[in-house]
Amino acid sequence: MKLLFLNGPNLNMLGIREPGIYGRQTYQDLEKYIQDFCGELGIACEILQSNHEGVLVDAIQSAYGRVDGIVINPAAYTHTSVALLDALKAVSLPAVEVHLSDVSAREDFRQISYVRLACRRTFAGHGFQGYRMAAEALLAEKNGASEGEKE
């Protein structure tokens, strides 16, 4: 089982950006957290952060035929990017959407998610743990468990 973890714009500023919303842990802490739980679960992982939509599209395309699933926090591109949605549809890999914050309790413009239309599930408001929940959901799916609802 190999997963691609994709993080969108400004997530490299974790620890500095709006700590009241996103916490004090840094992006490096997030990468380490992902590497650690993937090690525990026996998952091989690739992790990428970019502030550029096209780089994220390229990363999704290059995942085709190479990984078993994608965990994606598109950050602000969640609410704007048809290109990311189309890329996920194009490769048709199982994907799960993650947000550190509970986007459902935030501004109106954060209530729209384009990528969600190509994702099996969404985990929002669980902080770093959401990434693990997403990976476990993809692992369970690969092992034949049934799909759950969006959370």
Task: Enumerate binding residues for ligand DQA (CB under 6 A).
Answer: 10, 73, 75-76, 78, 99-101, 103, 110
Containing 112, the helix (H) or strand (E) segment is none
99 is known as an active-site residue: yes
Of the candidates 27, 99, 114, 131, the residue annotated as catalytic is 99
Quote the least distance from Cβ 144 to ligand DQA, whole Å.
Answer: 30
Nearer to ligand DQA, 2 or 104 (CB): 104
For ligand DQA, the closer CB: 50 or 78: 78
Query: Residue 138 has which token pair?
Result: 């993809």
Token pair belonging to 102? 């509970």
CA 112, CA 106: separation in Å to the nearest integer?
A: 11
CB of 63 within 8 A of CB of 93? yes
* Residue positions annotated with a catalytic role: 22, 99
